[in-house]
Amino acid sequence: MGEQIPLEKADVVIMNPPFTRQERLPKEYKDALMKRLKGYENYLHGQLGLYGHFILLADKFVEEDGKLALVLPATVLRVKSAFGIRKLLTEKYQMEHIITAWERAAFSEGAQFREILLIARKTKAPDNSKCCITSLKKLPTSNEEAKEFAEKIKSVGQKLETGNVYSNDFLVTCAITHEELKRNIGNLYILISTYDLKIPLFEKQIFERGSRKITKVEDYLRANKGEIFEFDYRPPYHGVFLVRPFRAIKKLDEWTVKNGNLEYLIVENRFTKEELKVPRKILVSGLRRPARTDKIDLTNMLDYIITSEFDKVDRLLKNPSVLEKWKSYVEPRLANLLISRRFDISATGTRFIAYYSSLPLVGVDMWSVRGVLGDDAKIIGLWFNSALNLLSILTQRTETRGAWMKIHEYMLKDSLMLDPSKLSTEERNLLLEAFNKIKDVSFPCVLEQLRSRFWARVEIDRAILKALGFNEQETNQILDYLYPALTKEIEQLKTLMQG
């Protein structure tokens, strides 16, 4: 039997903990962790990954005024399950450095998700104490270069005053106060979310200027008795989508819409060429996938979903008995406004973030926004596709992998939006005129919209900025900065994903 290792307090704890997700941990293991970490209940969350438990364990061992040096998933700065970890670090530590890289997503070999290096001193930090946020433009290629980088980060951190930014060929660093860390505890990811560290400051200035007409999504929904629903196209909900031919890109997309009338829809099996007549009364509207859907208004390009049995339903479904359950899942989610839940912002197929339809519909892996009707749905649809919202998505996002974005429910509720109820008649008309002007226009991908200043994209953004109270000159200045800045950020994320 091996000799036991004595566990003692340490001046420094250096750690690259496992990033294992909580879903993969056996219940017995979780129970043991909870017993070992008694006293940390205020910092634990049922969905906290294994790395979070290691941080709490490190806190047990590090001496007062000692240091933690950790390699962590970047999501620790953003996700709800890690809120307690951020709380621990702001309550009991002075975070001195948060370091990330832009040459590739991770410091660790073979890791696909973005990582950070975190250095924190175990001491109650005064509000005016300093934390340096450093983005490495390239990674060191040797031990000597790594030491050079480290010395530069250390020396810049000692000299840089809060609120200032330093940049050279291989890094960019900004300094913020501990008070700012506490203020942004819900989302510290914003500190490293952009390649250009000045962008979050620009976003803050724009949103503060337009704050009188901006509200939280959650507050708007509450005031309008609205709700958001996730639509997840997975078992046990085996409903059949009848899709437009241009959206039929997978084997599952077997039946495509050919034509029809008010009573029947004619569909064709794209593999066997068999045709069927499907009664419209048993169909509801849907969007099988937003990819390649290049118009903001879906009213005339809808897919359809079978929700009830008919005489030839067995040609479409192996088990029609699931339709009753499927119908009860689909119908409460029908809405006039859909917002994508997960998407690659750099992909050629990504044209919009949100879609409108005058006919209620559901969208696969999209948020159905219920209670937003008519002209309000059009205006909010414009907002969610605006450059200002793209900016907000980039800075507020939860990191998945590179240019992939995921909008969790709590993120959507917390996000800011233009409030139609706070607009004048003139401002509403300005936005509705813009919507009508671009609703049937085929848009290129988001990245190309920004690169080329696509005219219909400019129409949306000009209308949004004017509704927020910016004059012509200010609008031009904002767009002249915002389009190249967003283009560079998305291209950088795309490179990060490939790296």
**175 and 26 share one domain:** yes
Mean pLDDT of 96-117: 78
Answer whether residue 108 shows pLDDT above 80.
Answer: no
What pLDDT shows up at residue 5?
Answer: 63
Does residue 271 fall inside a structural domain?
no
Answer whether residue 230 shows pLDDT above 60.
Answer: yes
**436 and 394 share one domain:** yes
Q: Can you give the CATH number for the domain in which 141 is found?
A: 3.40.50.12420
What pLDDT shows up at residue 23?
Answer: 64
Answer whether residue 236 shows pLDDT above 60.
Answer: no
Element (H, E) at 221: helix 217-223
Give the helix ranges, DSSP H, for 21-92: 27-36, 50-61, 83-92
Does residue 249 fall inside a structural domain?
no
Contact 436, 297 (CB under 8 A): no
Does residue 365 fall inside a structural domain?
no
When pLDDT is cut at 50, 70 and 90, the band that residue 396 belongs to is confident
Domain boundary among 143, 170, 192: 192
Does residue 398 fall inside a structural domain?
yes
What pLDDT shows up at residue 366?
Answer: 95
What pLDDT shows up at residue 276?
Answer: 93
**60 and 205 share one domain:** no
Contact 322, 235 (CB under 8 A): no
Answer whether residue 7 shows pLDDT above 70.
Answer: no
Answer whether residue 111 shows pLDDT above 80.
Answer: no
What pLDDT shows up at residue 239?
Answer: 66
Query: How far apart are the C-alpha atoms of 216 and 231, rounded to whole Å?
Result: 22
When pLDDT is cut at 50, 70 and 90, the band that residue 399 belongs to is low
3-class SS of residue 412: helix
Place of tokens 């993969």: 24
Of 132-146, 212-226, 410-424, which range is least confident?
Answer: 132-146
Tens-place pLDDT, residues 288-305: 999 889 999 999 999 999
**209 and 71 share one domain:** no
Mean pLDDT of 117-125: 95
Residue of 293, 311, 304 whose CA lies nearest to 240: 304
DSSP 237: -
What pLDDT shows up at residue 201?
Answer: 81
What pLDDT shows up at residue 344?
Answer: 92
Does residue 113 fall inside a structural domain?
yes
N residues, the chain = 499
Q: Token digits for 494?
A: 């795309």
3-class SS of residue 51: helix
What pLDDT shows up at residue 84?
Answer: 94
How many other CB atoms are there within 10 angstroms of residue 27's CB atom?
7
Does residue 336 fall inside a structural domain?
no
**40 and 158 share one domain:** yes
Mean pLDDT of 115-119: 93
When pLDDT is cut at 50, 70 and 90, the band that residue 176 belongs to is very high
Does residue 262 fall inside a structural domain?
no
When pLDDT is cut at 50, 70 and 90, the band that residue 486 belongs to is very high
**174 and 220 share one domain:** no
- Report the domain count for the chain: 2
**31 and 148 share one domain:** yes
Query: How far apart are the C-alpha atoms of 253 and 288, rounded to whole Å?
Result: 9
Answer whether residue 398 shows pLDDT above 80.
Answer: no
DSSP 243: B
**72 and 214 share one domain:** no
Mean pLDDT of 196-213: 88
Mean pLDDT of 435-446: 98
Contact 470, 478 (CB under 8 A): yes
Among 113-117, 159-163, 288-292, 353-357, name the most confident range.
Answer: 353-357
**58 and 201 share one domain:** no
User: What is the dihedral sign for C-alpha 297, 301, 303, 308?
Assistant: positive
Answer whether residue 498 shows pLDDT above 80.
Answer: no
Higher pLDDT, 396 or 123: 123
**41 and 181 share one domain:** yes
Q: Which domain holds residue 433?
A: 197-226+371-499
Element (H, E) at 359: strand 354-363
Does residue 258 fall inside a structural domain?
no
For the chain, what is the mean pLDDT?
89
**66 and 187 share one domain:** yes
Tens-place pLDDT, residues 51-78: 888 899 899 999 999 999 999 988 899 8
Q: What percent of the chain has pLDDT over 90?
A: 62
**456 and 383 share one domain:** yes
Answer whether residue 238 shows pLDDT above 70.
Answer: no
Mean pLDDT of 158-186: 91
